[in-house]
Chain A
Amino acid sequence: MHRNLSQAWRHVRSLSITTLSRTERGMDVAKTLVSYFYYFVPFVAFFYTASPLRLRHNFQPIWPLDWAPYFHLDYITVVNIITVVFLATALAGIIFHHHRLARLFVFIGLWQAHALESSFGSPNHQWYMWVFVSLLFVLLPNVWRKKTEESNRVFLLYVWGAQALVALMYSMAGLTKIMESVHQFLLGQVHGFSIDAFAYQIAYFVPRLQEEAVLAPLIVAHPILGWFPYVTLILVQACSLLIMVRPGLQKPWAVFMILFHFMTYFTMGISFHPQIILVILLFLHSPFSPRTIES
């Protein structure tokens, strides 16, 4: 059994970036991953434009929107400008994402729209990671036009970097849950590893958010049903960075995270649809996964 586990562990390692950069298959998968990211940015743009931003109050512009009060623009004008810029850059990115300037504009559109969504007292977490991934992708070399081993390596490096950043964010989420659990345990409170933990989360947040959560009554009535998934989530989140050194784990990890976001929706009514898309794009067909290269 020890030998089998050892073999399995070795199998989920990746080829090095340098080796991958010399493979046609590896580069094709990496380029496809990046292209599909830009094909789906308009999807995020649609979610943004479909939200009732014009009806919101208590606009407190954060620093990326400092140009708005500088030009004495009213809220609706700011919304309209950002909407047009976001849609235009997102659509342009579908065709021109091979060019760095286009990728820069896509980042600016995403960033400004996200900053607007985050200017009502708290940041928008649902598509935070899209902004950072688009920022990293600005630095991609144009391997669609000019292929050299050096440019291939840099390209793969930033694809890896985008994956690593998303995995890092999930790890931070898990780590902070563990830290807070220890703190609450020491205070004698219900903590993240308690049987009732998930039930308390649901009972507190669902009435505050006032969203439909079909599984919420079941978990609150029977907290033990939520215990194992909740504890597993904390541990898997905390260990997320492991998938960057064992890329063969990326696909099962991604499936788990997608299930986690589904469960968050059905138990707490909180949707992370753009995040699900990002996890699918970055991890379900990763150029670093041994199975992708072997197939």
Chain B
Amino acid sequence: MSYLAHKKLLLIFLCFYFVAGMYVVDKYPFFNWALFTKIPNEQSDFTIEITAFDGTAYDPALPFSESRFIFEAIGQSPTQYTQPISDLGRALERTDDEAVARDRTAVEKMFDGKSFSYNLVRISYDPVELWRTGSYKEEVQVASYDSNHAP
């Protein structure tokens, strides 16, 4: 292949990557590189509070955002469970029993099979206000689960 042919191939590849990334947004291997693009204003989401883990009861319940020490002890990361927790909450909101069972299974894989019980909580908050005051604008418990009782 001549230099000119290589040049055309390369330029087409670069243009294709740009167009594919911006159009497809996020489908492997194309990505629009929109990382931390949106400024998170007031949020509505779901989180969990751990009421017991591996025989240890937590009263008051341990917020998920403060549970890193448990994950570190078993070589896991809490970040991989933030999306499954949100998915579980949304499935519950739309009363999709199949999705609830599926998402509960995904959430309860955390802690590497060790038993735990938790409350699923719907929250709304302003991120900066939450950081400064430690308080949600709204906090409603929507369900309680025990990983020993399979979905």
Contact = CB atoms under 8 A, between A and B. Distances in A.
Q: Do A and B bind each other?
A: yes
Contacts of A158: 6, 10
B17 A165 contact: yes
Interface stretch (A30-38, A115-123, A247-255, A287-295): A115-123
Interface stretch (B28-36, B49-57, B137-145): B28-36
B24 interface: no
A177 B76 contact: no
A55 B109 contact: no
Interface string B78-102: 1110111000000000000000000
Contacts of A122: 83
A205 B36 contact: yes
Contacts of A194: 39
Nearest to B66: A210
Contacts of B33: 169-170, 172-173, 176
A153 interface: yes
A2 interface: no
A63 B28 contact: yes
Nearest to A60: B106
Contacts of B82: 208
Given A131-B29, A176-B34, A184-B39, A56 B10 contact: no
A220 B40 CA distance: 14
B61 interface: no
B62 interface: no
Given A154-B6, A208-B65, A56 B28 contact: no
Interface string B1-33: 011001100100110011001100010110111
Interface string B111-126: 0100000000000000
B39 A173 contact: no
Contact of A220 (B29, B106, B112, B132): B132
Contacts of B130: 203, 207
B74 A201 contact: no
B128 A172 contact: no
B10 A161 contact: yes
Contacts of B37: 173, 176-177, 179-180, 192
Chain A binding surface, main DSSP class = helix
Nearest to A210: B68
Contact of A165 (B14, B65, B110, B127): B14
Contacts of B26: 123
A158 to B, nearest CB: 7
Contacts of B67: 210
B40 A207 contact: no
A172 B32 contact: yes
Given A57-B110, A191-B39, A123 B10 contact: no
Contacts of B74: 55
Given A52-B76, A210-B68, A172 B39 contact: no
Nearest to A128: B31
Nearest to A151: B3
Contacts of B131: 202-203, 207, 220
B135 interface: no
A173 B6 contact: no
Contacts of B22: 172, 176
A292 B102 CA distance: 57
14 contacts: A56-B80, A58-B80, A64-B28, A123-B28, A128-B31, A132-B29, A158-B10, A161-B13, A173-B33, A176-B33, A180-B38, A200-B128, A208-B65, A208-B82
Nearest 9 pairs of A and B residues by beta carbon: A176-B34, A203-B127, A57-B109, A204-B40, A204-B127, A203-B131, A173-B33, A172-B33, A210-B68
